[in-house]
Structure 1
Amino acid sequence: MSMPIVDDAANVLADPTAYADETRLHTALTTLRAEAPVSRVDVPGYKPFWAITKHADVMAIERANRTFTNWPRPVLMTAESDEIQAAMGVRTLIHMDDPRHRIMRSIAADWFSPKAMRAMGVRIDDLVKRYVDKMRDTGGECDFVREVAVNYPLYVIMSLLGVPESDFPLMLKLTQEMFGSDDDELKRSTQSDETMNALLEMFAYFQTLTVARRENPTDDLASTIANATIDGEPLSDIDTMSYYAIIATAGHDTTSSSISGGLRALIENPDQLGRLRDNLDLMPQATEEIIRWVTPVKAFMRTAAEDTTVGGVPIAAGDSLLLSYVSANRDEDAFDDPFRFDIEREPNKHVAFGFGVHFCLGAALARMEIGKFFAELLPRLTSIELDGEPELTATTFAGGLKHLPIRYSVT
């Protein structure tokens, strides 16, 4: 059994600005995988945690969901934010462990089933055409993130929920304020309690929606959540609001990051762009590579339920562990030439959707949205290039590009 390792390189995982500087981030993570794959992080403002950077270790922890629990710290936040969220009683699916997690997950599962995805596919076909047409009509220049990527998946998930289109901009604003709380451009305020106010505002919105759906149920996901029961009892207010919040935020932000990051990767790798445009049958593999490459959810946290070891390093009961998906998806032992964007990469056992009991509920929907968008865009694309410097969101949880200026020609 080796001794615990402290490596300063691991401090980048608690630095939101590192995720906006890919060279800095990946240099540190490459060092950690080679020299300190299980490393202790103790920096001001955060409760200490272990940084887990190897693919095999991340997978082992994901499998052992009784030894490593999601509750009480599923996401890396400042110590102050940890306390504020705990006081609010937020309990989304990512906060829960079995058996409660399994029961709660089943409430919305049918909405993301293969049958439901086939029905959604028709609607998504219409949407992707609308947004590619919009690109054609904007005159050949746009900030792809702001004008296309954030809006298309937002429309999909909000329509699924049953949120009226007039309220889509509000949902986008609140999501960006929550997920962009560490980014100077996107955050609502420098104060942690102000950041939580974005969540409270979203809760208030969905409280009103819940009342409406309980009085007059409709054929949407909001009605399913509002009228769900467990052992004959309706969900508590906090469980209902938390359920809406995770679907409404994660359901579009991560997909928009994948689409915009995927387009950037194709622009910067024109050989891959050409191969995919010439053979759209490669879209399933390309979609997986885009998701691996972008890794929109950067990390999740786990808490050790008992004394154990990871990679030969002793972990005490109660210790927190950060599972670095970004690092695992560039692990040299898991992927051949991991810093090469390869639309035909097989196998591609990325962990961008997690693994095990907490595998992303909306993975099939995200894959379909990404694949259908590029299947519509690429045959109509006659030229494309960057028209400025791409900008990434500062974050420690979820995010991607916040600006992608492009110049293009679409028929």
Structure 2
Amino acid sequence: MSVMTAADHRIPQNHADTLATPTDYASGKVYETYRWLRANQPFGVAKIEGIDPFWVATRHADILEISRQNDLFHSGDRSPTLTTQAMDKRVREMMGGSPHLLRTLVQMDAPDHPKYRALTQGWFMPQNLRGLEDRIRKIARAAVDKMAALGGECDFVNEVALHYPLHVIMTILGVPESDEPRMLKLTQELFGAADPELGRQGEAGAPQVGAGAATEEPQMDFGVIIDFSNYFRALSEDRRKNPTDDLATIIANSQIDGQPISDLEAMSYYIIVAAAGHDTTSSSVGGAMWALAERPKELAKLRADPSLIPGLVDESIRWTTPVKTFMRTATQDTELAGRKIGKNDWIMLCYASGNRDEAVFEAPDDFRVDRKPNRHLAFGYGAHLCLGQHLAKMEMRILWEELIPRLKSVELAGEPRMSEAVFVNGPKRLPIRFTLA
């Protein structure tokens, strides 16, 4: 294939705008754009008013290739989430030139990334998680019993899916159960900043840019981060004085190269574990129930053969793909998919598109609990492979092991709704009617 330049591969404006419009992720319109791009412009350039131009990777193979080359495509050189030029300027002014309000694993590259990842990695490995299984199963049973007490009808997202993984990760982190509602609200405000129902619609709102596209200007809301940090700073001080066996104690007392980690890095670590540690799992649980409510034959397969539950877990993660996009930055001039990429070029990895790639998945728009193989990209790939993937899959497996044998039937009892977000989105409302044994 001949090497082409960015100018030759501009994405049509209507599709470019969709990639930056939170409501198009909520409505599912973005999947139409993904389908068009995979077929016609799988690695093109989006130009949107108010946003720096960026490459868009929509094919499974290209996303894998970029994710594999962590030295060539960095997470920390520019914002790893889509942001406007105005927001980027504002953040850099606040943060002394850094493009990041937080400094989590997401914003790090080697040599820092592996050092900071190692601080908590042991907690999330399968051999350690096995010791938590009984504790998590007890939480799952309580969630199913709560659902049973709701009388055959509920909003599954707001009454079940949001609270189960939240309770699990807060138990591991060391946050008291009484503070879980606060953690849930802050997480929704963090990831749902552009959603009028979830975000803090304060000073900035969700401004319009380009031809009808809206990016999440308040995507990393300053007030939310301050509130998160104030909470975890107090928790951190307590764990330094009174260490226990929880994850907060590990973070509070962490050192890198013999020095305590900075306040910014500690608060960032707490926030990413607290927020990402449950939000993406609850989205996948909600997505699975939504799919089963519309496909009674898939539920029948699971009830007849519970050994398919791990398949349900992977399919729900592929189907929902809660983390829709991440941005990477080229560290030098290079070439990918026959295109010339320049040093410092920004690239959007569209995981939800890669997870519907016809070249990899048979009938990708079908929901199949028995799909094999299922090489989804929802946890990322390479050095940034999701730290909590084993915990997330175990939580979902245990919940469905407790729920599926009792779930005789389920159907929609109203219109489900997705959250409005370009970065992380999932079901925010799921009214269902069900019969539990």
Identify the TM-score tier after normalising by the shorter chain. over 0.9
- Give the match's secondary structure for 1:297: coil
Shift of 1:252: 0.3
Aligned residue number for residue 16 of structure 1? 22
Letter in 2 for 1:216: N
Deviations 1:96-133 (A, max 9, x none): 00111000000001111122211111111101110110
Change (3 A) 1:96 1:137: same
User: CA contact under 8 A between 2:379 and 2:385: conserved in structure 1?
Assistant: yes
Shift of 1:378: 1.1
Residues 1:400 and 2:412 aligned together: no
Letter in 1 for 2:357: D
| 1: CA distance, partners of 2:250 / 2:339 | 44
User: CA contact under 8 A between 2:43 and 2:58: conserved in structure 1?
Assistant: yes
Matching residue within 103, 112, 124 for 1:100? 112
Matching residue within 377, 393, 398 for 1:367? 393
Aligned residue number for residue 204 of structure 1? 230
Change (3 A) 1:166 1:26: same
| 1:132-143 equivalence runs, <5 A | 132-143=144-155
Residues 1:265 and 2:291 aligned together: yes
Letter in 1 for 2:42: P
Larger deviation, residues 83-92 vs 343-352:
83-92
Deviations 1:124-165 (A, max 9, x none): 110111011011111111111111111100000111100011
Shift of 1:282: 1.1
Matching residue within 69, 80, 83 for 2:86? 80
Letter in 1 for 2:123: W
| 1: CA distance, partners of 2:264 / 2:52 | 25
Aligned residue number for residue 6 of structure 1? 10
User: CA contact under 8 A between 1:10 and 1:51: conserved in structure 2?
Assistant: no
- Give the match's secondary structure for 2:221: helix
Letter in 2 for 1:62: S
Q: Number of residues paired by the alignment?
A: 410
Residues 1:125 and 2:130 aligned together: no
| 2: CA distance, partners of 1:237 / 1:56 | 38
- Give the match's secondary structure for 1:302: strand
Residues 1:295 and 2:321 aligned together: yes
Larger deviation, residues 188-197 vs 8-17:
188-197
Shift of 1:293: 0.5
- Give the match's secondary structure for 1:107: helix
| 2: CA distance, partners of 1:37 / 1:276 | 36
Matching residue within 355, 362, 374 for 1:329? 355
User: CA contact under 8 A between 2:292 and 2:410: conserved in structure 1?
Assistant: no
| 1: CA distance, partners of 2:146 / 2:160 | 8
Letter in 1 for 2:60: H
Deviations 1:24-53 (A, max 9, x none): 211111000011111211212322211110
User: CA contact under 8 A between 1:10 and 1:32: conserved in structure 2?
Assistant: no
For structure 2, the residue ranges without an aligned partner over 5 or more in a row are 96-100, 205-216
Residues 1:46 and 2:58 aligned together: no
For structure 1, the residue ranges without an aligned partner over 5 or more in a row are none
Aligned residue number for residue 284 of structure 1? 310
User: CA contact under 8 A between 1:292 and 1:352: conserved in structure 2?
Assistant: yes
Aligned residue number for residue 98 of structure 2? none
Aligned residue number for residue 167 of structure 1? 179
| 2: CA distance, partners of 1:399 / 1:20 | 8
Q: Matched residues, percent identical?
A: 47
What's the TM-score, normalizing by structure 1? 0.97
Deviations 1:68-94 (A, max 9, x none): 000122111233333444434521000
| 2: CA distance, partners of 1:84 / 1:134 | 45
| 2: CA distance, partners of 1:402 / 1:54 | 27
Matching residue within 61, 69, 73 for 2:66? 61
| 2: CA distance, partners of 1:78 / 1:372 | 40
Deviations 1:252-306 (A, max 9, x none): 0000000000111111121111101111111112211111001010011100000
Matching residue within 307, 313, 324 for 2:339? 313
User: CA contact under 8 A between 1:189 and 1:195: conserved in structure 2?
Assistant: no
Shift of 1:2: 2.6
Larger deviation, residues 289-298 vs 194-203:
194-203
| 2: CA distance, partners of 1:96 / 1:167 | 29
| 1:374-393 equivalence runs, <5 A | 374-393=400-419
Letter in 2 for 1:70: S
| 1:180-219 equivalence runs, <5 A | 180-190=192-202, 191=204, 195-219=221-245
- Give the match's secondary structure for 2:243: coil
Deviations 1:48-70 (A, max 9, x none): 21111011000000001100000
